[in-house]
Amino acid sequence: MSHNHEHHHDHHQESFISKYIFSMDHKMIAKQYLITGMIMAVVAALLSLLFRLQLGWPEDTFPWLESLLGDWGKGGRLDPNFYLALVTMHGTLMVFFVLTAGLSGTFSNLLIPFQIGARDMASPFMNMLSYWLFFLSSVIMLVSLFVESGPAAAGWTIYPPLSALPQAVPGSGLGMTLWLISMTLFIASSLMGSLNYITTILNMRTVGMKMTRMPLTIWSFLTTSILGVLSFPVLLAAAVLLIFDRSFGTSFYLSDIFIAGEALNRQGGSPILFQHLFWFLGHPEVYIVLMPALGITSEVIATNARKPIFGYRAMVGSLLGISFLSFIVWGHHMFVTGMNPFLGNVFMILTLVIAVPSAVKTFNYLATLWKGNIRFTPAMLFAIGLVSLFISGGLTGIYLGNAALDINLHDTYFVVAHFHLVMGSASMFGMLAGVYHWYPKMFGKLMNEKLGYLHFWLTFAAVYLVFFPMHFMGLDGVPRRYYNFTGFEYMSEWMDLNRFISVSAILGSAAQLIFIWNFFYSIRKGKDAPQNPWNSNTLEWTTPVERIHGNWPGEIPHVHRWPYDYSVPGAPQDFIPQTVKDDDLPETLRAPKVAPAPEHATAEASTTETLLFSRFLNLFGLKRA
């Protein structure tokens, strides 16, 4: 990667290993993250199908389970211990490996250098190291599925004592050890990635790329990385104490423990301490998962509605607001731990305040769509789907943030429904929107649109069919993480609904096969992509279709405007890329050289409503860039 190579990239000689395996090119690393994330998603989805099978047909036997799972499926019935392990591994894989590394790793790597105009990351070597640590941690996590005592079974939150005492349940032994090793590597990988993302964004923007001219995707990756840098080390601290409790006999989290009637020599610890440390990461983590998806949605919606994103500064402000608030609300996961009611109130109010920036984002998405010249590409459908899921999942967040209600709803299917909609599915939709939108940038090909539509509608329907009914079960008090509901009369009423959910889950998962086929088939046989398939303004579409080292063959383009100049009245076409100078535009669109222009005179349509809106926004200092 010397200076020469950038100008003679055609002669750039690379071995297979340096190009496809130990690559330091951010585009290749992004693809590596994406493919690894997809593999982990498939595994996690298959695990969920196994436990959905148990929940839907608790009394039936499936002889093939025994041949598939061996001792864990003896007599065609799922072992209860393995059920807990499945739930744990499904959560761990989905939250960390798919939606943290797979989503953030893929799109931060792909888009940060592209969209800010840099040739690569600040430290390409650290970037490569970050991926390979993630790969190693993925392998260890998958290996833990095959150990004799089973994988970790303490839930993805690994609360002690189940996680702290190797003799507690079968999964607390080797499975839990591997979980901790894997997650330690994962944290190191994620920190390296985040350090790199922050440094690259703040230090390596091209000429003219002010912070206020960055696409919202970049803003979301920035806030996500800041959250990662501040919260993952705390999980590491919690894990260190946990490892000492497990292996060296300390009692940070353990006190007065009896196993099988026998008192253990542990005293003075507190399991609540672990919850505090865990959720100090855990709550920012849900925004680490969600915010990149929101950033992708902002970009996809503005591009495909052919309209400037509504309230750019408010969008940035809400990202910052959500990031800040996410650090001071962790207590709302712990309302039932005997928390001081005053403290509970504080956490409750802070939690409900998060509704404000979230609502700002939702309204801005809707206002961007309003009267837009909408193109329903598959990416756009998934982005709109995210907005829908964000609303329906967000509304139940207001219920759960309320301590009085949460004490009733805690650990029920209501919670499962809430976070699967607002965090799980919404982020997954953001990820899929990103894949459909930037696929031409990654592979130089277009995905099949018809299959994309089919994939969207089946997935969208399945998500609601699976998770919406769970609200009703939760309101009835059906607890999560139970192996079998037939033993309790009030819960067995929900048997039919459980079966319905299981069938929907199976169909929804099958629909993902369409996507996987479309994805891999199009790499080879897809239609060739033009350079700027979506007529988008951002810098990544000024790079050549065949993705070269250093991204731009000549100089890095300079940036002259913000990324959302869509449908500007009087402009020659309905988009003005960031690289277009004012001088190249018709006279009417140029900013006056002397006095600062009133903001509606430059780029915005000066209809009465936008005028009123911008005056209204000015009141709050939300003037557009």
Partner 1 sequence: MMEAAMQGNMAPVKKRQKLHPKEFLMWVFLVSVFMIFAGFTSGYIVRRADGNWVEFVLPVGFLYSTILVVLSSISAQWALIQARKDNLDRVKVGVGITALLGIAFILAQLNAFNQLVEIGMFLVGNPSGSFVYIITGIHALHLVSAIIVMFVIFANVFRYRVHSKNLLGIRLGTIYWHFLGILWIYLYIFLLIMN
Q: By CB under 8 A, name the one of 6, 285, 299, 540 that touches partner 1.
A: 6
Six token digits for residue 411: 């650990």
Main-chain dihedrals φ then ψ at residue 298, nearest 5 degrees: -55, -45
**Contact call for residues 421 and 392 (beta carbons, < 8 A):** yes
Cα separations in angstroms, 453 against 293, 297, 380, 447, 511? 19, 17, 10, 11, 11
Binding segment (CB under 8 A) for partner 1, from list 139-147, 172-180, 271-279, 491-499? 271-279
501-530 binders of partner 1 (CB under 8 A): none
> Using CB under 8 A, which of 100, 106, 251, 518 touches partner 1?
251
Minimum CB–partner distance for residue 551 and partner 1 (Å): 11
Q: Which of residues 537-556 bind partner 1 (CB under 8 A)?
A: 550, 555-556
User: What residues from 280 to 319 belong to the interface with partner 1 (CB under 8 A)?
Assistant: 280
Q: Does the footprint of partner 1 cover residue 221 (CB under 8 A)?
A: no
Q: SS3 of 145, please?
A: helix
Mark the segment that binds partner 1 (CB under 8 A) among 139-147, 201-209, 378-386, 429-437.
Answer: 201-209
Amino acid at 292: P
Question: Shortest approach of partner 1 to residue 554 CB, angstroms?
Answer: 10
Q: How far is the CB of 225 from partner 1 (least distance, A)?
A: 9
# of chain residues touching partner 1 (CB under 8 A)? 52
Question: Could you tell me which stretch among 274-282, 286-294, 463-471, 513-521 binds partner 1 (CB under 8 A)?
Answer: 274-282
Q: β-strand 262-263 against 258-259: which pairing, if any?
A: antiparallel
In whole angstroms, the minimum distance from the beta carbon of 272 to partner 1 comes to: 8
Residue whose CB is less far from partner 1, 177 or 251: 251
- Window contacting partner 1 (CB under 8 A); options: 142-150, 225-233, 379-387, 403-411: 225-233
Query: Does 575 participate in binding partner 1 (rule CB under 8 A)?
Result: no
d(CA 219, CA 438) in angstroms, rounded, equals 18
Smallest separation, CB 205 to partner 1 (Å)? 10
Segment lying near partner 1 (by CB under 8 A), choices 174-182, 191-199, 368-376, 444-452: 191-199
Q: Please tell me whether residue 2 binds partner 1 under the rule CB under 8 A.
A: yes
- Amino acid letter, residue 317: G
CB 597, min distance to partner 1, A:
25
C-alpha span between 111 and 274 (Å, rounded):
36
Phi/psi of residue 77, each to 5°? -115, 140
- Per DSSP, helices labelled H in 18-95 are 26-56, 63-69, 80-92
| Per CB under 8 A, 454 contacts partner 1 | no
Among 229, 391, 451, 506, which residue interacts with partner 1 (rule: CB under 8 A)?
229
Choose one: 155-163, 200-208, 215-223, 393-401; the region binding partner 1 (CB under 8 A): 200-208
CB of 91 to partner 1, least distance (A): 22
* Residue of 136, 174, 181, 230 that binds partner 1 (CB under 8 A): 230
- Closest approach, Cβ 226 to partner 1, in A, equals 9
Binding mask 125-154 for partner 1 (x = CB under 8 A): -x----------------------------
SS3 content of the chain, % helix, strand, coil (to 5): 70, 0, 30
Minimum distance of partner 1 from residue 240's CB (angstroms)? 7
Q: Which is nearer to partner 1, 324 or 482 (CB)?
A: 324
Q: Is 200 in the site for partner 1 (CB under 8 A)?
A: yes
Beta bridge partners, 259, equal 262
Contact 81, 171 (CB under 8 A): yes
Does the protein bind partner 1 through residue 158 (CB under 8 A)? no
Tokens at 502, concatenated: 């299981």
Contacting range for partner 1; rule: CB under 8 A; set: 261-269, 343-351, 532-540, 567-575: 261-269
Q: Among residues 63, 70, 249, 570, which is the contact residue for partner 1, using CB under 8 A?
A: 249
Alpha-carbon distance of 493 to 295, in angstroms, equals: 42
Q: How far apart are CA 348 and CA 332, in angstroms?
A: 6
CA 221 to CA 215: how far, in whole Å?
10
Stretch that binds partner 1, among 30-38, 228-236, 418-426, 607-615 (CB under 8 A): 228-236
Residue 169 CA: distances (Å) to CA of 31, 152, 153, 161, 453: 38, 9, 8, 10, 45
Q: Is residue 276 at the binding interface for partner 1, with CB under 8 A as the rule?
A: yes
Cα–Cα distance measured from residue 326 to residue 285, given in angstroms and rounded to the nearest whole number = 9
Q: How far apart are CA 502 and CA 53, in angstroms?
A: 7
Place of tokens 């020659």: 572
Residues 81-120 that bind partner 1 (CB under 8 A): 118-120
How big is the CA angle at 446 (ends 444 and 451), to the nearest 5 degrees? 150
| Residue 123 sits in the site that holds partner 1 (CB under 8 A) | yes
Q: Does 250 bind partner 1 (CB under 8 A)?
A: yes
**Cα-trace Rg, the chain:** 25
DSSP assigned state of 487: T
Tokens for 422, please give them: 């607002």
Residue 207 near residue 172, CB atoms below 8 Å:
no
Give least dist CB 276 to partner 1, A.
6
Which of 51, 72, 252, 456 touches partner 1 by CB under 8 A?
A: 252
Partners of residue 463 on adjacent β-strands: none
Q: Coil, strand or helix: which one is 152?
A: coil
3 binds partner 1 (CB under 8 A): yes
Interaction between residue 209 and partner 1 (CB under 8 A): no
| Site membership for partner 1, residue 231 (CB under 8 A) | yes
Region of residue 208 (left: phi > 0; alpha: psi -120 to 50; beta: else): left
Q: How far apart are CA 306 and CA 566, in angstroms?
A: 5
Which of 269, 308, 394, 440 binds partner 1 (CB under 8 A)? It is 269
β-bridge mates for residue 566, sequence order:
575
Long-range residue pairs from 606-612, CB within 8 A, at least 24 positions apart, any chain: none
Contacting residue, 16, 248, 258, 342, with partner 1 by CB under 8 A: 248
Which residue in this structure is represented by tokens 């004799």?
148
Binding residues for partner 1, rule: CB under 8 A, are 1-3, 6, 118-120, 122-124, 126, 191, 194-196, 198-200, 202-204, 207, 229-234, 236-238, 240-241, 244, 248-252, 255, 267-270, 272-273, 276-277, 280, 550, 555-556
